Structure 1
Amino acid sequence: MDHYSAAFNSINEELNLVKERFSILMSRNEKEAPYQKEEIKELKWLQKIINSFTDTHYKRYHENAFDYLPSPIITAGAPDEFKFFKWGLVPFYYKDKAKAMDLRRSTVNCKSEEMYNDDKPSFRDAAKNGQRCLIPITGFYEWRWLDEKGKVKIPYYVSFKQGTIMSAAGLYSRWKDPTTGEYYYSYTVITTAANSLMEYVHNNGKRMPVFIPKEYEKDWLNRSLSKDDVLALCQPFKADLMKANTISKLITTKEAETNVEDVLKLHEYEKLNTDEVLSEL
């Protein structure tokens, strides 16, 4: 709140709905009405959301885009309050629900230099309509490839030397489910060319998220900002203000709880060569 001066009313309201739904499912007499597979999946999903919040803190130590968990972001449409949106943008014009949900896997990121292009309709309309957002983060994860095909790779945690919250730049959208009439709110992270640090870490793609400096956050949320001014803000963040360290592969472990502080901890690989890393797999 100190950083953004934004209210949490909307988040609290939606979180209460999540808790209510979870409570309803948990109160069922399983002997009389056994849980269906989709209900068990929903229960686990709801539990992940609830576990991300305490009475005073938001604690999600890593974000898996394909969990589609709601995250607090600030939108140009409501710059004074946090909103719950899901990662993986769904454009408004999709009529088929299955196709809309499948699309999310390919709209996690958006290249800044392409977001206004007519051949990128998923992002074009949001960009032209000024549907920009700020995504608060304290760091992010990326993989460094140790072979040409990415079969051998190690994860890095990338953060900021000043140790503060930063705002990743994004676009957002509202899609209406034609079968239920309910709205699905989503976002994508805008990327740019990697700085020197990220060229090393993200050596296969050489990209990085766009970060909006605090002094330009209000400008980014100004829906009347020109295309040229928007693109001018989509620059690589300074490498000398960032740091990166290798971490364990806990973030991709299916058998363990991964929303724990240990995912951030330094894990040293004695020799960063193919044979040594293969032994870690």
Structure 2
Amino acid sequence: MCYNYSQELKAQDLEIEYNREMPSEYREQYQPYYNADGYAHPLMPVISSDQPNIIQLQEWGLIPIWAKSDDDAKVKRKGTLNAKAETLFELNSFKNIAPTRRCLILVSGIFEPHHFSDGDVRYYYITRKSKRSFAIGGIWNYWRSPQTGIVHRSFSMITTPPNPLLEAIHNNKPRMPFFVPDHQHNSWLSNDISITDIQSLMQPYEDVSDLRAWPISKSINYRKTNSNIPETLQRAELSHPVHIRENQHILDILNRYIA
């Protein structure tokens, strides 16, 4: 599953790339993230089905409409950072909103763990070779706190089975975010498609040749260390022979699709 990602673009760069405005109410709150930690429920840029012509900010971690209090919402949203494509129309948290409340989550890249055979775990950063950002398919909801009256707009990130690259990287319970191909953005946001059509869109990202990946510093694992810095995205050299050998397998997969 995916609990960390980056969005390092400035607001004006997102507006140019997606040809949409970020209204001033969101622009004032927006900040880029080199490492957005889902469990901190950050405000992140999305394009939602109810306002498809703007970029807005929503909180990561969908709050179900039946949450009874702020404390109840905090508990429930920790289990809704991700939503599996295969059960999107089965689980109570998602099935009633998935037909109409879908969104594109705008990200620069994602972080996924790799479990080496010696027991060590290192994170890889996966991004696009084209240097364009990803739009990850998600679902969104709004919830009004009965205590404060504040309305929270929040989202869950949809995941699918992995493509060959993500299967090699995220090798313990492999999954990957649902990267929506550029030409399907409008289809994903449309409310004029059927549940069958929605399900058919949720497929693993096929264009492996558009991806690149590299290992990063272990600092992303350290909760007491600030990993929301540019250095988090830098390539870390692997020195252990086991790590070098198993990393070569990942490189071989990339090279196979590039060729």
Bucket of the pairwise TM-score, normalised by the shorter protein = 0.7 to 0.9
From 13, 16, 22, the equivalent of 2:25 is 13
Structure with the higher strand share, 1 or 2: 2
Contact 1:87 1:108 in 2 (8 A): yes
Is residue 2:127 matched to residue 1:127? no
Is residue 2:239 matched to residue 1:270? yes
SS in 2 for 1:125: coil
Q: How do 1:115-264 residues align onto structure 2 when only pairs under 5 Å count?
A: 115-117=88-90, 120-128=91-99, 130-146=100-116, 152-238=120-206, 239-264=208-233
Q: TM-score scaled by structure 2?
A: 0.82
Cα distance in structure 2, aligned partners of 1:2 and 1:233: 25
- Evaluate the alpha carbon distance shift between residue 217 and residue 146 of structure 1 in structure 2; reply closer, same or farther with a 3 A threshold: same
- Evaluate the alpha carbon distance shift between residue 272 and residue 137 of structure 1 in structure 2; reply closer, same or farther with a 3 A threshold: farther
The residue that corresponds to 1:91 in the other structure is 64
Cα distance in structure 1, aligned partners of 2:79 and 2:43: 18
- RMSD, aligned CA: 1.9
The residue that corresponds to 1:76 in the other structure is 49
Greater Rg, structure 1 or structure 2?
1
Contact 1:147 1:153 in 2 (8 A): no
1:215 deviates by 1.2
Which of 131-140 and 87-96 deviates more?
87-96
Contact 1:77 1:131 in 2 (8 A): yes
1:167 deviates by 0.5
Q: Counterpart of 1:127 in structure 2: which amino acid?
A: A
1:258 deviates by 2.0
Cα distance in structure 2, aligned partners of 1:223 and 1:178: 29
Q: Counterpart of 2:135 in structure 1: which amino acid?
A: S
Residues 46-75 of structure 1, C-alpha deviations (whole Å, 9 max, x = no match):
xxx6xx3xxxxxx31111001111111110
Q: Percent identity?
A: 28
Cα distance in structure 2, aligned partners of 1:68 and 1:97: 13
- Evaluate the alpha carbon distance shift between residue 7 and residue 15 of structure 1 in structure 2; reply closer, same or farther with a 3 A threshold: closer
SS in 2 for 1:262: helix
Structure of higher RCO (CA pairs closer than 8 Å, 6+ residues apart): 2
Residues 167-192 of structure 1, C-alpha deviations (whole Å, 9 max, x = no match):
01100010111112221111010000
Task: List gaps (5 residues or longer) in structure 2.
Answer: 1-14, 244-259
The residue that corresponds to 1:64 in the other structure is 37
Q: TM-score scaled by structure 1?
A: 0.76
Corresponding pairs, count: 228
- Evaluate the alpha carbon distance shift between residue 162 and residue 14 of structure 1 in structure 2; reply closer, same or farther with a 3 A threshold: closer
SS in 2 for 1:63: strand
The residue that corresponds to 2:79 in the other structure is 106
